[in-house]
Amino acid sequence: IVEFGETADLTADETRRQVRAALEDAKVVFLRGRGFALTERERQIITDPVVMFRGNEEKCKRNARPTLTFDVASDQLRFSTIRKPERREIEAMLRRYAVWSRDLLSELVPDYALAAEQNRIIYRPVGRDKVQDLHVDTTYLHPTQGRSKLRIFCNIDPLGRPRVWQVGEPFETYVQRYLPLSRGKRSGLELAFERLIGLVGLLEGPRTGFDHLLGEIRQLAKDDRHYQQSAPRRIANFPPGSTWIALTDVVLHGAISGQHALDQVFFLPPSVLSDPSRSALSTLERLSGRQLG
């Protein structure tokens, strides 16, 4: 984890070099005191359990829902049961976060900002009661198709609680552990299911061999309880008003506790990295000996 203090000049050439090097070295960039600011009205809304959880806060904690998804392309929350007018106010907050995140990326790594596809924003208003397994990111309905996945996280908790993470071993070590156990190919049934959900509009683009293989490795690791309990890790605390950034398809991570975390997802072509051979796609192709595009 590479930390930058509140007085760091984020547009200085040396800072930009350090941020880029840290991200591409599969580290987490921690910006202390550089968070996304809420209005007082937004603080009131997100701490109102009747608005956010329909009064069922304990049930929401048990199932870790809702996780709110703001689709940047359509400019609205998807699959949300939050009612108007608060829903529109939350959408406005997330819309501001989309702009703020892109501006921050432009400050830190201008090349990334120019090449990035801004995907969705994820907002987790529910307090986490269970430790999330160590994993790398591969989302079934949002396949990256080999693009690197950069995420900008913010802790916006009005009650001052930190967001606590665990950060695991190097990506290549993780892949080498589970690659021999993977099938590597999709069954006919899996392919048929992907075509079906693609036809009804739930799948955001076709899944490639990369998406399938990384997803399989992720699941193997999540199912390995001995690994989840004994794997090396570091614990990181991100206080309210702070931001952290990572290429989460190569950073092994899992949330431990916290509430009210924002997360903007970007997809980056591996070619924009200083060394594209260090991307998740290139690493998986090298270790598996197969083209995965």
Tell me the average pLDDT across 107-124: 97
Residue 203, pLDDT above cutoff 80:
no
d(CA 278, CA 291): 15
Q: What is the pLDDT of residue 186?
A: 64
What is the band of 177 on the pLDDT scale with cuts at 50, 70, 90?
Answer: very high
Please state, in angstroms and as integers, the Cα–Cα distance from residue 11 to each residue in 8, 24, 70, 107, 192, following that order.
Answer: 9, 18, 28, 5, 48
pLDDT digits (tens, 9 = 90+) for 226-272: 999 999 999 999 999 999 999 999 999 999 999 999 999 999 999 99
* Mean pLDDT of the region 53-80: 87
Q: In what order do the strands lie in the sheet with 117-124?
A: 2-4, 29-31, 243-247, 148-155, 261-268, 117-124, 68-71, 76-78
Q: Which helix (H) or strand (E) holds 255?
A: strand 253-257
User: Looking at residue 193, what is its pLDDT?
Assistant: 63
Split at pLDDT 50, 70, 90, the class of 192 is low
The encoded tokens of residue 4 equal 């930058």
CA distance 267 to 115: 9
pLDDT tens digits along 13-36 = 999 999 999 999 999 999 999 999
Is 125 a residue whose pLDDT tops 90? yes
pLDDT band (50, 70, 90) for residue 191: low
Per-residue confidence (pLDDT) for residue 183, from 0 to 100: 87
The overall average pLDDT reported for the chain is 93
The C-alpha atoms of residue 118 and residue 116 are separated, in whole angstroms, by 6
Given a cut of 90, whether residue 65 has pLDDT beyond it is no
Q: Using pLDDT thresholds of 50, 70 and 90, give the confidence band for residue 201.
A: low
CB 141 within 8 A of CB 153: no
Q: What are phi and psi of 158, to 5 degrees?
A: -65, -20
The DSSP result for 60-112, as a single string, is HHHHT---EEEETTTTEEES--PPTTHHHHHHHHHHHHHHHHHHHHHHH-HHH
- Nearest to 82, CA basis, from 62, 66, 95, 71: 66
The candidate with the shortest Cα–Cα distance to 198, out of 143, 249, 268, 138, is 143
- Please give the average per-residue pLDDT across 101-109, as a whole number: 98
Q: Which one, of 254, 191, 187, 186, lies nearest residue 222 by Cα?
A: 254
As a whole number, mean pLDDT of residues 70-79 equals: 91
User: Is the link from the previous residue into 66 a cis peptide, with omega within 30 of 0?
Assistant: yes
Whether 223 contacts 256, CB under 8 Å: no
Task: Determine the average pLDDT of the residues in 85-98.
Answer: 97
pLDDT at residue 157, rounded to an integer: 98
